[in-house]
A and B are shown apart, each in its own frame.
Chain A
Amino acid sequence: MSDDAEPQRRSRSDAGVDPNSQADGGSVETTIEAWAPSRPALSTRVGRPLVLGIVTLVVLVLSVPVVVTFVSSFAETATGILPRGFVTFEHWRDVLGLGGDQMAVIPGLAFSLAIATGGMMLNVVIGVPIAYALTRYEFYARDWLNTLAIVPLVPGVVLGLAFVQTYPNHGRSALGLIAGYCLLKSPYMVLTVQSSFQSMDLVRLEESARSLGASWPRTFLTVIVPHAKRGILAGCIITWTLAAAEFNFTFMVVSGSPDPFAVFLYRNTSNATYMQQAAAVSVYFLLVVSAIAVLQLIGNRGFTTIRDQ
C-alpha cells in the first residue's frame, strides 16, 4: 500500500510543477525544474491583502468621522449627503464666542484647561517620584503598589459618585476636580515616566552622582529628573489632554458654572446645530492633533505611553 503511494504522489507533484514552469519558465525551464516553486500558499496570496484590507477599513472608520466633522464645521449646511456651502467661519465664530452666541465654548474650555493644568502639575509631583521608586528599588509589596499606580481600577463614574458624597462641600470645586483628574490620569504619567526610567541605567547614574558628592535629593533633582524630561513631558501632554475633555467623573461631580468642556458639549447636544457642535468638537481635535505632533516629535508612538526604541 505505502509502496504504491510513494510513486503516485511523486508523479502528481511532477504534473503540478510542469504546467507551472512552462507558463513562466521559458527556455531555462529544464535547468530550474527542481527549483520551480509550487503555487504559493493560500496565505501568501490572500493573507496580506486581507490584513491590508482590514487595516484600511479600520483606519477609515477611525479617521473619516473626525475628518468629516472637522470639514463640516466650515460648512453652511449639512442637510443632504455631504455638507455644503464652504467656506464659512460662522460656527467657529459662534464657538469661539465672537458671535455672542450661547454656544461659546471658550469659558468652559478655559475652565477645563485650567483644571487640567492643575491636575497635570499635581501629577508631576506625585507621579515622577513613585515612578522612580517603582523602577529603581526592590521592596516589599512593590508589585502591588505598581499595580495600584498604573492600573486604573476605579472608573470615573464610580469615583465621581463617591467623591460628591465624601466631600459635599469641596468635591464639586476646582480643587476637587484637580484631585480627581490627577488620580484618574496618574497611570498615564507613571507609565510614561517609568518607560523613560527603564531606558536608562538608573542605578549607575544615581551612584555616579552620589559618589561625586551630590546628596540624594540633589541627585534626584539635578541628574535623574533631567534625564527623564522627555518622559515627563510626554506624561504631561497625555494627562493634560485627557483631563481637558474628561467627562465621566466630571459629569457625576460638577454642578456649577462654567460647565467644563465635555459637560458643556453634552448639555448642548440638543440645542446646538450640528455644525456648531462640529466646530466645538474640532477645537478639541486641534488640541489632540497638536498633542500627538509634539509626542511624535519627542519620540513617543503617537498618543500612547509606549516609546519607540
Chain B
Amino acid sequence: MSEVTLESLTKRYGDELAVDGIDLTIRDGEILGIVGPSGCGKTTTLRTIAGFETPTHGRVRFDGVDVTHVPPEERHVGLVFQSYALFDTMTVRENVAFGLKMRDVPRRERRERAGALLEMLDISALADRRPTTLSGGQQQRVGLARALAIEPHVLLLDEPMTGLDAALKTRLRTAIRDLLSDLGVTAIYVTHDQEEAMAMCDRIAVLNAGTVEQVGTPSAIYRRPANAFVANFIGNSTLLTGVAADGRVDLGFAELEVAAATDGTVTVAVRPEAFEFEREGPINAEVTSATYLGDRTQLTATLPDETTVALHADAAETYRTGETVSLSIDDTSVHVLE
C-alpha cells in the first residue's frame, strides 16, 4: 500500500473552479474520510486520484512518484461505488478475478486469489452466481473484493453504503473498517454521512467549495472545529459572539472560563450537549419548539441575546412552547474558533 499526496491540486471546468488548490496527504495504511456538502469537490478529488480527471494544476503522487498523467488503468487504484457497478455479464468470481485477468495473472492463481478474497469477505457461497441475483449488501462486498483483488496502492470508496438500510450499514461499516485495517489498506472514504465518517475513518478532511477546511481525527474535528463551517457541518453547533479577555469570554448574558488565543471579539462554538439544565442557572432561554425523539427531546430555544440554540433535553421531562428553561454552559466542552 502507498502514501498518497495531493499537491495544490486544482481542477477547473470552464469558469467553474471545482477543486481549488488542495494539499492533502493520505498516510500509508490509514482510512481518510472526505466529507463536505454536495458540490464541494469530493467526487472530483476522488476521480483525480483515480486518474479519470487530469488536474488543471498540481500533482498527485503515490509514494512520492508523480502519477498525475498516468492513465487510470495503470494506476493500481481500487474503486468501490455506491451503485456497485458490478459486471452483470460475469459471475461473482469472474468479477473478482477481472483485475487479475487484465494483469495477465495465470488462471490458476486468479482462481485462488479470488477464492481467498471471497472467503475473507464471507461470500464464497455466492462465487458462481450473477451479481443481479444478489442483495445490496452482498453486491457491495463483491465490489469491495473486486477492488481489493488488484492489491491497490489506494482504495477509493465513493459513498459505498448510501443505498443500504440502516441496520446493515452499521454492521457492514464495522466489518469493513476492521478488514481494511487488518489488510493495512490505504483508503479514502467519501461520504456525506458524517456519522459514518466518524465511525470508519482514522482522520477526516472537511471540504467546502473546493478547499480543505480542516483535517484531523474525528474527535479533533468534533471537539475543536477550526472554523464556523466545520463547527456547523460536523454535528450541530450554536455560534455565540463574545468578548475575550484574561482567559474568559464574556457573552453578555453569561461568562465562560475558556482561553482564547487573542483578546477582543471572538466566536465560540457550543454543542447542544454542552448546555446543562439547572434549577437556577445563569442563562434563561425561552423554548420555541420541542420534538420528542425517543432517547431525548430536541428543543430549540431563544437565548437572551435572541440567538436560537439547539438543546438536548431529558426525554422524561415535558416541555411546552413559551416555557422558560434555566441553563448553564459546560466550560470544558466549548471551543473558541480561531
Q: Do A and B come from one complex?
A: yes
- Is B19 among interface residues, defined by CB-CB distance under 8 A? no
A-chain residues with CB within 8 Å of residue B77 when the two chains form the complex:
211
- Is B166 among interface residues, defined by CB-CB distance under 8 A? no
Q: Please measure, in the bound complex, the distance between the C-alpha atom of A210 and the C-alpha atom of B99, giving whole angstroms.
A: 9
A-chain residues with CB within 8 Å of residue B99 when the two chains form the complex:
212-213
Q: Please measure, in the bound complex, the distance between the C-alpha atom of A215 and the C-alpha atom of B99, giving whole angstroms.
A: 11
- Is A204 among interface residues, defined by CB-CB distance under 8 A? yes
| Besides A207-B85, A216-B73, 6 new A-B residue pairs in contact (Cβ under 8 A), listed by A number | A201-B85, A207-B52, A207-B79, A208-B87, A209-B87, A213-B76
In the complex the two chains form, is A208's CB within 8 Å of B102's CB?
no
List 23 A-B residue pairs with CB atoms under 8 Å apart, sorted by A's residue number. A201-B85, A205-B87, A207-B72, A207-B85, A208-B85, A210-B71, A210-B72, A211-B72, A211-B73, A211-B77, A211-B79, A211-B147, A212-B73, A212-B98, A212-B99, A212-B146, A213-B76, A213-B99, A214-B98, A218-B102, A219-B73, A223-B87, A223-B89
In the complex the two chains form, is B98's CB within 8 Å of A205's CB?
no
Fill in one digit per residue for B125-161: 1 if any A CB lies within 8 Å of its CB, else 0: 0000000000000000000001101100000000000
Fill in one digit per residue for B83-119: 1 if any A CB lies within 8 Å of its CB, else 0: 1011111000000001100110000000000000000
- Is A136 among interface residues, defined by CB-CB distance under 8 A? no
B-chain residues with CB within 8 Å of residue A204 when the two chains form the complex:
81, 83, 85
B-chain residues with CB within 8 Å of residue A215 when the two chains form the complex:
73, 102
* Given contact pairs A204-B83, A218-B102, A226 touches B89 in the complex (Cβ within 8 A): yes
Q: Please measure, in the bound complex, the distance between the C-alpha atom of A216 and the C-alpha atom of B74, giving whole angstroms.
A: 11
Contact count band on A: 10 to 19
- Is B223 among interface residues, defined by CB-CB distance under 8 A? no
Residue in chain B with minimal CB distance to A223: B87
| A interface residues (Cβ-Cβ under 8 A, vs B) | 201, 204-205, 207-216, 218-219, 223, 226-227, 229
**Which 9 residue pairs of A and B lie closest in terms of their CB atoms, listed nearest first?**
A212-B99, A204-B85, A213-B102, A226-B89, A211-B79, A210-B72, A208-B85, A214-B102, A210-B73
Residue in chain A with minimal CB distance to B77: A211
Q: Which of A201, A205, A212, A229 contacts B150 (CB 8 A)?
A: A212
**Distance in Å from the Cβ of A9 to the closest Cβ of chain B?**
45
Q: Please measure, in the bound complex, the distance between the C-alpha atom of A77 and the C-alpha atom of B86, giving whole angstroms.
A: 61
B36-53 contacts to A (CB < 8 Å): 47, 50-52
Q: Please measure, in the bound complex, the distance between the C-alpha atom of A207 and the C-alpha atom of B48, giving whole angstroms.
A: 12
In the complex the two chains form, is B83's CB within 8 Å of A211's CB?
no
Q: Which of B75, B86, B87, B88 contacts A211 (CB 8 A)?
A: B75
B-chain residues with CB within 8 Å of residue A216 when the two chains form the complex:
73
Q: Please measure, in the bound complex, the distance between the C-alpha atom of A188 and the C-alpha atom of B50, giving whole angstroms.
A: 36
Q: Please measure, in the bound complex, the distance between the C-alpha atom of A26 and the C-alpha atom of B49, giving whole angstroms.
A: 77
A-chain residues with CB within 8 Å of residue B29 when the two chains form the complex:
none
- Is B55 among interface residues, defined by CB-CB distance under 8 A? no
**Distance in Å from the Cβ of B64 to the closest Cβ of chain A?**
21
B-chain residues with CB within 8 Å of residue A213 when the two chains form the complex:
73-74, 76, 99, 102-103, 150
Residue in chain A with minimal CB distance to B99: A212
Residue in chain A with minimal CB distance to B86: A208
B-chain residues with CB within 8 Å of residue A208 when the two chains form the complex:
79, 81, 85-87, 146
Q: Please measure, in the bound complex, the distance between the C-alpha atom of A212 and the C-alpha atom of B50, giving whole angstroms.
A: 11
In the complex the two chains form, is B50's CB within 8 Å of A201's CB?
no
Residue in chain A with minimal CB distance to B156: A211
Q: Please measure, in the bound complex, the distance between the C-alpha atom of A85 and the C-alpha atom of B14, giving whole angstroms.
A: 76
A-chain residues with CB within 8 Å of residue B72 when the two chains form the complex:
207, 210-211
* Given contact pairs A204-B83, A211-B73, A227 touches B88 in the complex (Cβ within 8 A): yes
Q: Please measure, in the bound complex, the distance between the C-alpha atom of A209 and the C-alpha atom of B81, giving whole angstroms.
A: 12
Of the listed residues B72, B77, B79, the one surrounded by the most CB atoms of chain A closer than 10 A to its CB is B72
Residue in chain B with minimal CB distance to A228: B89
